Amino acid sequence: MNGEIRRYTAYKVSIGLIGKGNMQLEQDKDDPTKERFRFLTLKDKEINRINLIANVIDKFESEEKAYITLTIDDGTGQMRVKAFSDQINLIKESQAGDTILILGTLRYFAKELYILPEIVKQLDTRWLLVRKLELEKEYGDLYKNLEQRSQITEQTVQLQARQEPQETQFTQQKQPTQQPKQGEKPINQEPVIEKQSIQEEKIQDISKNIRDQIIDIIKEAESEEGIDVDKIIMQLSNHTVEEINNSITSLLEEGTIYEPKPGRLRIL
């Protein structure tokens, strides 16, 4: 259909992987002295839009507030996100130290490849670990062999755990041990089996909760003829990508929802 805007897939990548890709440029029709970005080729993919999770390490805002840039780092490289006019609202609240998810388009100007944002959402720092595992599975050695300039380790999770509610921390603290008197049997320590069953119940409750939330989100999007999986993932940022994908698969198999086209979901 003439005049129809093509919607490119937003591929999950890292900054280092973008650097490994082959950039395809073409001569700008309006200015023959300049080159225009077409797409990036990486592992048989033609990448124009990206889905990226990274930390904000620097922010610049022009005095007229008509231009904002974020410098981001995901452990494999650094890149800039540039926002102009209408896009400014997408990143104006982002600050150095934030972990963000960015859906955006790759652009090229003055020999710099940068990201023009479409959707920006602040995430829990632990999503960096989730994305790291996703990219290792998708790209294998191509991703694993990237030079890791800033390590994403379990220390990130430990740092986040310190910010959990006090009640949760209290229940995890060990009670002081009591030395048995002579002739007495040692006092039993924490009931490990009981703790395990509690954890299993929590996992089941979380699974049910995710299903209900996914159904509610899809129902709310019926007026827009469905919703993309990426948007569901962003709205359920307190759950892992694996949990969400497993729940979506289960709902598809049982016929509660359906996929009118790849990556888009509707309720039956």
Chain segment 90-138, per-residue pLDDT in tens: 999 999 999 999 999 999 887 889 999 999 999 988 898 889 889 988 8
CA distance 136 to 24: 25
pLDDT class of 255 with cuts at 50, 70, 90: confident
- pLDDT score of 175: 47
The CATH topology of domain 10-142 is OB fold (Dihydrolipoamide Acetyltransferase, E2P) (2.40.50)
**192-220 helix and 241-254 helix, angle to the nearest 10 degrees:** 60
- Please give the mean pLDDT across all residues of the chain: 78
Domain 197-267 classified CATH 3.40.50? no
Domain residue limits, the chain: 10-142, 197-267
pTM comes to 0.55
Backbone angles phi, psi at 77, to 5 degrees: 165, 180
Max mean pLDDT among 23-27, 86-90, 227-231 falls in: 86-90
CA distance 212 to 234: 16
What is the DSSP code (8-state) at residue 175?
P
Whether the pLDDT of residue 147 is over 80: the answer is no
> How far is Cα of residue 78 from the mean position of the Cα atoms in its chain?
17
CA distance 83 to 88: 5
Half-sphere exposure of 20 toward its Cβ, with a 13 Å CA cutoff?
A: 19
127-141, 142-156, 217-231, range with the lowest pLDDT = 142-156
